[in-house]
Chain A
Amino acid sequence: MLEDLRGAVHRLFKKPGAAAAAVIALAVGIGLSTSMYSVADALLLRPLPIPDIDRVVMLGAMSESDPASFHSVTPYDFSHYALSSRSTETLAASRPWAANLTGAGDPVPIEGARVTSSFFEVMRIQPLLGRVFLKEEDSPGSDRSVVLSHNLWERQFGASPDILGRTIELSGRAFQVVGVMPKGFTFPPPSDFWVPLALTFAEWTGSDAFYLRVCGRLQPGTTLDQARAEFKVLAGDLARQFPANHGRLSARVELIRHRVSGDLTPQYTRITIAAALFLLFIACLNVAGLQFSRVLSRTREMAVRGALGAPRLRLLRQVVAESILVALAGAALGLFVAAWSLDLMKSSMPPEVERFLPGWQRLGLNGLVLFYTALTAVAAGIVSGLGPALWLSRTPILENLHESGRSATGTAARHRLRNFLVAGEIAVALVLLSGAALMVKGFRAIGRLPVTTDPARVLTLRITLPQHRYPDHLAVAAFQGRLLDSLSRAPGVQSAAITSNLPYSDSTNRSFVTIEGRPSIPGGRPQDVAQVQNISGSFFPTLGIPLLRGRAFSGAESRDAQRTAIVTAAFVKDYFPGEDPLGRRFHLGDGAWWTITGVAGDVLHNFTGRAPEPLVYLPYTQSGWGAFDVALRTSGDPYTLMPQVRQAVRDIDPSQPLALVRSFRKLIDDSTIGIGYVASILSVLAGVALFLAVLGVYSLMAGSVRERTREIGIRLALGARRPHILRMVFREGLLLAAVGIPVGLASSLGAATLLRRFLFGVTSLDPLAFVAMPLALTCALLAAGLIPALRATRTDPLIALRHE
């Protein structure tokens, strides 16, 4: 084998140009797939730096009508699960808390979680500094400790080593820093701090409010399925005990690494990995094509060796050794490509998005990834070497001797396999091209969704009022009323609105809906879910949403008056098909009846939704809480209003920070950044694929023209004119396209149905993807064939007179 390798090195250096082309093609293919592995490794396999992550699960409530749902649970549910579960060794509850970090310069909004002391036990994660929570900190009164994330510690406290013991103020309350977590740990994302949950006994017995997120570590030897079965039974207990609000709920148990990165990240990662592997496959086909030419040019030598008795296996090994060598060289170079592309990806990821990507900070090459790369390289070497080697082994020695001896112009049979390889490249490249086109198109479609009119003219920001200073709804509504008043009078503001959550912001609030007069007990229409959004009356004009029927909120709706709601067209379609919704009533699980007084146009709240969800708008004066978004429609550049907005807030409450101040356009763009990211990665991969396919066609046709020089000379001597020769050479290229493009098109249609599943605005019969891309590819291929074809027409017919 060593001898084979030495021979291979020798032969590769004899034709350095072709070898370099092969190495570069593979370096790109291997490098880009390595970086995609790294992304998958960081985001999917080990999104959190916790030991035995595959034993850690999340537990949630699932509506029977929607198996994809994953709701929080009530404190009572948690107690029941924690006491009864045998499949888990520890369960922990957490609840997100958006707090304001005050008392250290300007107030800063930060997000964190209140957790039970068992939380860190489940995570089995050691703090970098200090300690985690003690059992006694689970009780109210002794719960003023805080553990910081590495990121917050660096960002806000300059990574000071004597942070321990310091007191910080969270939304005006003092907490003592007891620990700092290691880098990369943020759960639930994007948590930057943890404080004890410390519910009171009364709170622990509550079975109405679903607000706890549960995670746990499986008992050794217990499988995920066993845990699922057990929690299903336990959820059954709860459903019997509380039929009114648990009646149609079951339990759902998932690995934490599947839940932590959201629903889309795994899908995106899979798409990019698939695309990278496709690209790698093209690169392999390319190298196989090159190897094939090398084998062809050595046919005679091989035949002579064979005739002299060299074992066939030996000859095969030589060819495969050469390919593996090329692949390993490609892999070595590919690591630079990978490192470089990872750097590029990391530096171009906006921090607002990175917060939601646990694991992203630790993105990089590591042992596991390198192992994959090495495996990929060897596989690529074998794949690209085996075809030519097998061809060689199937051709009888005599025929090789004969062919190369007698007729220098008989090449068609020898080209068949190589043509096949290049047709394959074309097909795979087309899949990538049309896939990328669909992604880009989908991404663009999102940007053009009719969310609102002119979102670039709308300034948005988020305010989170601390509970201890705004303890009840009245206090919150008072703040909101003053703010609205002051903002709507500010110069340059056309209208100002308050809402619990803007479309495309990352928070949504869904609730069970029961329509008056319709049974809510088993046997009737299943309980349904709608999005709930609190708004001020000016919300519709501010965002440019049409009010289709009825009237808008006046702003004077008081808590004691009749509760009014505006529903969306989608809500009417779902709940009142063919009926008049105005005047009808519904409740949202807490027994308070809401009367429908208006119908508004539909708005998409996220880009993965195929159609707008049913949504109910409630007046902020009658419902809502301290975390809310503000939207201002302006006549000019919205950012010029920022000082006035800050001043308006400071006038009401100087300790109150603003968060996520940006135009609505920017907010939408930020929310689509992930998909934009995938679209741009796919575009890059598709571009490289196109290049490789063009290169493959070019080198095939150039090689074929080179080999057929004599034949072309003869044809010219017999009176062939330029168009005859052009036609002859192009026919070969067109034949490749005629095979590759339909195959690629069929495969792309399959890929499109996969993509369509989670991308709004993508249709399977997209003309850009399925007409323009094949045409563009054909043009590129024709262009690639043009140079060899023109060269062929310049062949000197005198060549026919030479005696070989």
Chain B
Amino acid sequence: MSDQSMISLDGVTKVFTTEDVETHALAGIHLDIRKGEYVTIAGPSGCGKSTLLAILGLLDSPSSGAYTLNGQAVQNLKLGDRARIRNREIGFIFQAFNLIGDLTVYENVELPLTYRGMGSAERRKRVHEALERVGMSHRVKHYPSQLSGGQQQRVAVARALVGSPSILLADEPTGNLDSANGESVMELLSELHRSGATICMVTHDPRYALLAQRTIRLFDGRIVEESVGTVS
């Protein structure tokens, strides 16, 4: 485990048991992600990409193995502590955008800060900065249903980065977008990376995988290949 490692997984496994069937979704994952890295996870359907991302994002806990985040062992934390770390250290970008339909763009982006208990003036400043960065500051009063898919995903990106998390986790962020919108979201992520963000993204698309510094290939819950991509 290197000193710069922000994330370190050591022998992480995940077993799902349903109706006496055991699925070994992850089988001994060793993975380090350094601050400022841009990592993509690729692999065939069902190989465990989303499961890995869920564990990285503290949405789920490993069946065994150790997970160290910013020097803290987090694999056995209680629900409330996990939520707190999720809120401060992790920014999620989902395939289905997952904006909350009853909240405006502004309120959606504000949500993680609200859960942090931040004061409203500080929140306003941060929300506007984040929306500025994704180029959506002109749509603060809109509801998600009034936006295109690409715009929704930009708002989702703003929501992920508004709390200045240690890492952005994205699960096929372009899966629900056409190629033009997809590319512009990818552009946005690259830009964020260039300005210092740590990103871990699941993708099927080899073109997008190339944007990253490092691609991890999963097969049957194991890392079968790690390649260093060419940074364009």
CB contacts under 8 Å to B, within A714-744, are: 714-722, 724
A721 nearest in chain B by CB position:
B83
Q: Which of A408, A717, A721 contacts B80 (CB 8 A)?
A: A721
User: Which of B85-93, B181-189, B203-211, B214-222 touches A?
Assistant: B85-93
A403-B145, A410-B145, A721-B80 known; A711 vs B100 contact (CB < 8 Å): yes
**When each residue 769-804 of chain A gets 1 if its CB lies under 8 Å from chain B and 0 otherwise, what string results?**
000000000000000000000000000011011011
**When each residue 333-376 of chain A gets 1 if its CB lies under 8 Å from chain B and 0 otherwise, what string results?**
00000000000000000000000000000000000000000000
A717-B92, A718-B112, A721-B80 known; A411 vs B102 contact (CB < 8 Å): yes
Select the residue from A403, A797, A804 with max chain B CB neighbours within 10 A: A797
A719 nearest in chain B by CB position:
B87
A801 CB contacts on chain B under 8 angstroms: 50, 53-54, 59, 94, 171
CB contacts under 8 Å to B, within A681-706, are: none
Select the residue from B100, B112, B175 with max chain A CB neighbours within 10 A: B100
B76 within 8 A of A: no
Whether B145 lies near A402 (C-beta < 8 A) is yes
Whether B159 lies near A718 (C-beta < 8 A) is yes
**When each residue 71-102 of chain B gets 1 if its CB lies under 8 Å from chain A and 0 otherwise, what string results?**
00000000110011011101010111011111
Q: Which of A719, A797, A803 contacts B112 (CB 8 A)?
A: A719
A718 CB contacts on chain B under 8 angstroms: 86-87, 92, 111-112, 115, 159
A407 within 8 A of B: yes
CB contacts under 8 Å to B, within A396-416, are: 402-403, 406-412
CB contacts under 8 Å to A, within B161-207, are: 163, 171, 175-176
CA distance A90 to B54 in the complex (A): 94
CA distance A564 to B110 in the complex (A): 90
Sorting the interface of chain B by its residue count into under 10, 10 to 19, 20 to 34 or 35 or more gives 35 or more
Whether B59 lies near A798 (C-beta < 8 A) is yes
Whether A721 lies near B84 (C-beta < 8 A) is yes
Whether B84 lies near A719 (C-beta < 8 A) is yes
B57 within 8 A of A: yes
**Can you identify 18 A-B contacts, CB atoms within 8 angstroms?**
A403-B101, A407-B99, A410-B101, A410-B102, A411-B101, A412-B102, A710-B98, A716-B83, A718-B87, A718-B159, A719-B83, A719-B87, A719-B112, A720-B115, A721-B79, A721-B84, A722-B79, A803-B96
CB contacts under 8 Å to A, within B89-125, are: 90, 92, 94-96, 98-102, 111-112, 115-116
B86 CB contacts on chain A under 8 angstroms: 717-719
Give min CB distance, A413 to chain B, whole Å. 8
A717-B86, A719-B84 known; A804 vs B145 contact (CB < 8 Å): no
Give min CB distance, A319 to chain B, whole Å. 24
A798 CB contacts on chain B under 8 angstroms: 54, 59-60
B102 CB contacts on chain A under 8 angstroms: 409-412, 711
CA distance A407 to B144 in the complex (A): 8
A797 CB contacts on chain B under 8 angstroms: 59
B94 nearest in chain A by CB position:
A800
Whether B175 lies near A803 (C-beta < 8 A) is yes
Whether A719 lies near B116 (C-beta < 8 A) is yes
Q: Which of A410, A715, A724, A804 contacts B96 (CB 8 A)?
A: A804
Q: Which of B60, B88, B100, B176 contacts A409 (CB 8 A)?
A: B100
CA distance A110 to B87 in the complex (A): 86
Give min CB distance, B77 to chain A, whole Å. 13
A405 nearest in chain B by CB position:
B145
A803 CB contacts on chain B under 8 angstroms: 95-96, 175-176
Q: A719-B115, A721-B80 are in contact. List 17 more A-B contacts (CB 8 A).
A: A406-B144, A409-B100, A410-B101, A410-B143, A411-B102, A717-B59, A717-B86, A719-B84, A719-B88, A721-B83, A721-B84, A722-B80, A724-B115, A797-B59, A798-B54, A798-B59, A801-B54
A407 nearest in chain B by CB position:
B101
B84 CB contacts on chain A under 8 angstroms: 719, 721
CB contacts under 8 Å to A, within B54-78, are: 54, 57, 59-60
Chain B residues in the interface with A (C-beta under 8 A): 50, 53-54, 57, 59-60, 79-80, 83-84, 86-88, 90, 92, 94-96, 98-102, 111-112, 115-116, 143-145, 159, 163, 171, 175-176
Whether B145 lies near A715 (C-beta < 8 A) is no
CA distance A410 to B90 in the complex (A): 25
Q: Is the interface of A mostly helix, strand, loop or mixed?
A: helix
CA distance A715 to B99 in the complex (A): 10
Give min CB distance, A406 to chain B, whole Å. 6
A408 CB contacts on chain B under 8 angstroms: 101
B87 CB contacts on chain A under 8 angstroms: 718-720
Give min CB distance, B156 to chain A, whole Å. 10
Chain A residues in the interface with B (C-beta under 8 A): 402-403, 406-412, 710-711, 714-722, 724, 797-798, 800-801, 803-804
B111 nearest in chain A by CB position:
A718
A722 CB contacts on chain B under 8 angstroms: 79-80
A403-B145, A407-B145, A721-B115 known; A800 vs B80 contact (CB < 8 Å): no
CA distance A392 to B112 in the complex (A): 35
Select the residue from A406, A407, A800 with max chain B CB neighbours within 10 A: A407
Whether A406 lies near B57 (C-beta < 8 A) is no
B111 CB contacts on chain A under 8 angstroms: 715, 718, 720
Give min CB distance, B145 to chain A, whole Å. 5
Give min CB distance, B61 to chain A, whole Å. 11
CA distance A409 to B102 in the complex (A): 7
CA distance A720 to B86 in the complex (A): 9
A410 nearest in chain B by CB position:
B101
CA distance A800 to B111 in the complex (A): 15
Whether B83 lies near A800 (C-beta < 8 A) is no
CA distance A458 to B54 in the complex (A): 81
CA distance A410 to B176 in the complex (A): 18
B101 nearest in chain A by CB position:
A410
B101 CB contacts on chain A under 8 angstroms: 403, 407-412, 711
Q: Which of A407, A715, A800 contacts B59 (CB 8 A)?
A: A800
CA distance A60 to B83 in the complex (A): 82
B94 CB contacts on chain A under 8 angstroms: 714, 800-801
A399 nearest in chain B by CB position:
B145
Whether A800 lies near B92 (C-beta < 8 A) is yes
CA distance A249 to B53 in the complex (A): 96
Give min CB distance, B95 to chain A, whole Å. 5
Whether A714 lies near B98 (C-beta < 8 A) is yes
A713 nearest in chain B by CB position:
B98
B115 CB contacts on chain A under 8 angstroms: 715, 718-721, 724
A415 nearest in chain B by CB position:
B102
A720 nearest in chain B by CB position:
B115
Give min CB distance, A20 to chain B, whole Å. 30
Give min CB distance, A791 to chain B, whole Å. 15
B112 CB contacts on chain A under 8 angstroms: 718-719
A721 CB contacts on chain B under 8 angstroms: 79-80, 83-84, 115
CA distance A797 to B83 in the complex (A): 10
CA distance A408 to B100 in the complex (A): 9
CA distance A800 to B159 in the complex (A): 14
A409 CB contacts on chain B under 8 angstroms: 98-102
A720 CB contacts on chain B under 8 angstroms: 83, 87, 111, 115
A710 CB contacts on chain B under 8 angstroms: 98
CA distance A384 to B171 in the complex (A): 45
CA distance A715 to B111 in the complex (A): 8
Whether A410 lies near B144 (C-beta < 8 A) is yes
Give min CB distance, A721 to chain B, whole Å. 5
B97 nearest in chain A by CB position:
A407
A715 CB contacts on chain B under 8 angstroms: 100, 111, 115
A410 CB contacts on chain B under 8 angstroms: 101-102, 143-145
B175 nearest in chain A by CB position:
A803
A716 CB contacts on chain B under 8 angstroms: 83
Select the residue from A408, A412, A719 with max chain B CB neighbours within 10 A: A719
A724 CB contacts on chain B under 8 angstroms: 115
CA distance A717 to B101 in the complex (A): 16
| CB-CB nearest 6 A-B residue pairs | A719-B87, A410-B101, A412-B102, A407-B101, A409-B101, A721-B83
CA distance A721 to B58 in the complex (A): 13
Give min CB distance, A707 to chain B, whole Å. 11
